[in-house]
Amino acid sequence: MNKNLSVNTGHLGPFVATGEILALASRAGLLLDALVSGTGEGSDFTGWITLPSDIEKELNDIEASAARLRQISDTTVVIGIGGSYLGSRAVLEALGDSFGQYRNKRDHQVLFAGQNLCPDYMHELLTLLDERDYSIIVISKSGTTTEPAVAFRLLRSHLIRKTGRKEAAARIVAVTDKAKGALRKMADSEGYKTFVIPDNVGGRYSVLTAVGLLPIAVGGIDIRELVKGAYDMKRLTADNHNAATNPALLYAAARNLLYTSGRNTEILVNYTPKLHCIAEWWKQLFGESEGKDGRGIFPAAVDNTTDLHSMGQYIQDGERKLFETVLSVESGQREVKVPLTDDNEDNLNFLAGKSLSFINTAAEEGTRQAHAEGGVPNIEISLPALNGYYLGQLLYMLEIACGVSGYMLGVNPFDQPGVEAYKKKMFTLLGKP
């Protein structure tokens, strides 16, 4: 039987009492009910809550489409921005080979576009695709969001020139609205294979739809393990009022108590570079859900132990307005041990025979202790292993926690009115009719 991920608030002792956390988490059960029952603010966009079971009927089609893209091409370019690419990229990087692109026998490669407007990035991508046999997954509800729309226009034109219009159509999959929008109209006209973005699921909560699962499956990851982890976490969180056993309630309560005590910046910390893009996904989830009406916790992230040699100084000795949430992986997939040397010129023979996991864990625990003693509270989210099942648990737990946390703050966690501000200014400068 699989263990579940857990949330540990033991390092908060000097800052927030365990009793306070449990009390607030228990009271938050009412907010959890509002979230799950669809009676809270923004309930039109809470369809993600039942996705772990609802998506089951689509998995065969998603897997078949992924297998076809892998068969007809050696590379797939995923076009999207925000929630349309962050979830899939996070899972692919967390579960993939860090150096897969450099292997002599390269597996099917997933690349990303439409997440920026940088001409150098696009030029270099197009130059690479001149040499690749590639397909496209384009993800957009409307088809008119500037960054992915521009990227799709460029890449679609490139693919048509390379393969012809009919063959290009067979190599493009659109994930879009079921009935309306520019991309839906083009997909129907050109005959693209399509998947639907549900009307009641916002982008940052869409990783368990075809938005996230199709690119993940194209990358060779078992999406059923991801969904199974999310399903089991739903059972543990969505209907569980026991604050001591519901990690989503514990996490939401702990971070909000820290916020009300003046800690307005949360740093998500990892000790494996594979989790870098999980932090990017988390930043969008919480930043876009909570940052409104002049309130909200600012989400930041560091990759340790790398950033202990850059941001570590500020975290240890800077302003005491921040707290940390540490993503801790209990067991790695591989092991490497430090060798014994005759000269011992680096004075590291005391580590001979010890594993890098052991050393990394010591760095993690030592850092947590040092930061706590330096006035930085830290929450721990512990994953028993880094695999699809536990990533599914993590993603779903954070989504539930984010919904509850937004309600605790008194904001609608499912809209993003501020996102439109830059677009209006940009369109004016571009002369858009």
Q: What is the CB neighbour count within 10 angstroms for residue 206?
A: 27
Looking at residue 395, its pLDDT comes to 98
Separation of alpha carbons 311 and 283, rounded Å:
17
Identify which of 280, 297, 281, 319 has the alpha carbon closest to the alpha carbon of residue 379: 297
pLDDT per position in the chain (433 positions), as tens? 579 999 999 889 889 999 999 999 999 999 999 999 999 999 999 999 999 999 999 999 999 999 999 999 999 999 999 999 999 999 999 999 998 888 866 789 999 999 999 999 999 999 999 999 999 999 999 998 999 999 999 999 999 999 999 999 999 999 999 999 999 999 999 999 999 999 999 999 999 999 999 999 999 999 999 999 999 999 999 989 998 999 999 999 999 999 999 999 999 999 999 999 999 999 999 999 999 999 999 999 999 999 999 999 999 999 999 999 999 999 777 889 999 999 999 999 999 999 999 999 999 999 999 999 999 999 999 999 999 999 999 999 999 999 999 999 999 999 988 877 887 888 888 788 8
For 49-222, CATH number out of 3.40.50.10490, 3.40.109.10, 3.30.9.10, 3.30.70.330 equals: 3.40.50.10490
pLDDT digits (tens, 9 = 90+) for 160-214: 999 999 999 999 999 999 999 999 999 999 999 999 999 999 999 999 999 999 9
For the annotated catalytic residues, the residue numbers are 288, 309, 423
Q: Give domain limits for the chain.
A: 6-43+226-409, 49-222
Looking at residue 105, its pLDDT comes to 67
Looking at residue 431, its pLDDT comes to 85
CA dihedral 329, 272, 21, 233 (to 10 degrees): -50
| DSSP single-letter state for residue 311 | T
Same fold, 6-43+226-409 and 49-222: yes
| pTM attached to this predicted model | 0.96
Looking at residue 104, its pLDDT comes to 67
Looking at residue 329, its pLDDT comes to 96
Looking at residue 92, its pLDDT comes to 97
Looking at residue 311, its pLDDT comes to 96
Looking at residue 25, its pLDDT comes to 94
| DSSP single-letter state for residue 131 | T
Looking at residue 352, its pLDDT comes to 93
The CATH-assigned architecture of domain 6-43+226-409 is 3-Layer(aba) Sandwich (3.40)
Q: What is the largest CA-CA distance in the chain?
A: 74
Q: At what angle do helices 247-260 and 388-409 cross, to 10 degrees?
A: 40
Looking at residue 41, its pLDDT comes to 95
